[in-house]
């Protein structure tokens, strides 16, 4: 009985960790920041479209690993 509760608890904990990392967002505007001070748009093409509309430049970060989760970047 205690073993199954422990397994359930562990499964719930493991499921919660990546969700929290992926939802990391700015406290003010609610946009995705992933632990940085930069607000991230979707794909580079989306960023390019947005940049053209807002008359800005595009900043593209190329990373190894899984950027959304700081443990895997």
Partner 1 sequence: MNALANPEVGSFINKNFVSSFQKVATFQIVNGQKQGGNVAAYFCAPDGRVLHCVAGPVDAATMLREAKWVVDGVKKAMEENRKTEVPFKALFRRWHAERLRQEYGLVIEPATFDAPAPREDDPLTYNDPTGRPVLPVLILPPIDGPDVQFRAMAKEAAADAAPGANVVACRKGGRWSLGNQGRVHQLMSAYSMSKIEKVYATVFESILGERVSTKPVITINARDGERRSVCLTCESKAAAQD
* Residue ranges that bind partner 1, judged by CB under 8 A: 35-48, 50-52, 54, 56-67, 70, 73
Residue number, 7 or 45, with CB nearest to partner 1: 45
Residue number, 1 or 29, with CB nearest to partner 1: 29
Residue number, 8 or 31, with CB nearest to partner 1: 31
Q: Is 46 left (phi over 0), alpha (psi -120 to 50) or beta?
A: alpha
Quick one: which of 31, 53, 52 has its CA closest to 42? 31
């Amino acid at each position: 009985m205690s073993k199954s509760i422990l397994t359930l608890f562990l499964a719930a904990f493991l499921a919660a960790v990546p969700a929290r990392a992926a939802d990391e967002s700015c406290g003010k505007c609610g946009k995705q920041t992933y632990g940085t001070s930069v607000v991230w748009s979707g794909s580079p093409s989306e960023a390019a479209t947005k940049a053209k509309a807002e008359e800005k430049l595009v900043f593209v970060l190329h990373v190894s690993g899984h950027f959304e989760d700081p443990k895997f970047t």
